[in-house]
Amino acid sequence: MNNEIKPYSVYTTDEAQQLLKVSKSTMKRFLKNGLIKANKLGRQYRILGKEILRIVSPQTETMATHSYLKLKQKVVNKINKW
């Protein structure tokens, strides 16, 4: 598989998973949480290349870190209430 991601090409979840080098469960989590936008055709998802490119951008990493820290704080607050 060519590792060049073309912004307007359409990729399957397996192809996107290979390009992003993530596990199947991580790919499912990306789709479920809306971190990566996809169109569902029947029982399968199709992902535009620009969505894959967006997820590997530094801005997305910053956003993911912010989301993680916010979630972590919620968990800490919940534990502290016990």
Looking at per-residue pLDDT, the higher value among 69 and 58 belongs to: 69
Tell me if 20 is assigned to some domain: yes
Instruction: State residue 69's pLDDT score.
Output: 87
Structural domain span for residue 29: 10-81
Tell me if 4 is assigned to some domain: no
pLDDT digits (tens, 9 = 90+) for 23-58: 999 999 999 988 899 999 999 999 999 999 888 877
Tell me if 5 is assigned to some domain: no
Tell me if 2 is assigned to some domain: no
Tell me if 37 is assigned to some domain: yes
DSSP string, 19-48: HHT--HHHHHHHHHTTSS--EEETTEEEEE
Tell me if 1 is assigned to some domain: no
